[in-house]
Amino acid sequence: MSYFSEIYNGIKTLLTGMSVTGKYFLNARKGVITQQYPDNRETLKMFDRFRGEVIMPHDDQNEHRCTGCQKCEIACPNGTIEIIWDRGIDEETGKKKKKIDQFVYHLSLCTMCGLCIDVCPTDAIEWGQNFENSVFDRTHLTRVLNKPGSKLAPGVED
């Protein structure tokens, strides 16, 4: 008896799967299923919660919001972030102030856990939408997130 019930269950499971496939097949022309990647590169936008990579936004004046506090570096569970910092003169106060030299991000180590972004007190880093991160040389996955010549935006404190 179990022999026949197993055959019945097998056919039932097969038909269930095929009905789902059939629905998508019949609706394929409505364009709701397949993204024509990479032809749609110019217009493709990932969903808002997409975690492609950690980025550091800069404004029109080439200013960022990273104070070099290193909270993200400490929070990262696997050493993905390295903050290389120095002390410079604060233009407003004339006193010495910590500043980043390089914010190094090893994308190949990043698990996209988001702890660094959560812990940042100044919202200096966020998720980027880029997902085309295949490279032939893995050293290209190590990036400096602060742009050359950039500096801390005025008024940003820890």
Q: Pick the binder of ligand SF4 from 9, 62, 78, 133 (CB under 6 A).
A: 78
Q: Which of residues 123-142 bind ligand SF4 (CB under 6 A)?
A: 124-125
Residue 72 structure tokens: 């993200």
Give whichever of 21 and 56 is closer to ligand SF4, judged by the CB atom.
56
Closest distance of CB 134 from ligand SF4, Å: 18
Which pair of structure tokens corresponds to residue 33? 């299923």
Closest CB to ligand SF4 among residues 38, 149: 149
Report the distance separating Cα 53 and Cα 131, nearest Å.
8
Assign 3-state DSSP to the chain and report helix, strand, coil percentages, each to 5.
25, 20, 55
Q: Which stretch binds ligand SF4 (CB under 6 A): 8-16, 26-34, 69-77, 131-139?
A: 69-77
Region from 21-29, 37-45, 108-116, 135-143 binding ligand SF4, contact rule CB under 6 A: 108-116
- Candidate list 52, 70, 82, 144; residue touching ligand SF4; CB under 6 A: 70
Extended strands (E) in 2-136: 53-55, 63-64, 81-89, 96-106, 126-128
Contact 87, 97 (CB under 8 A): yes
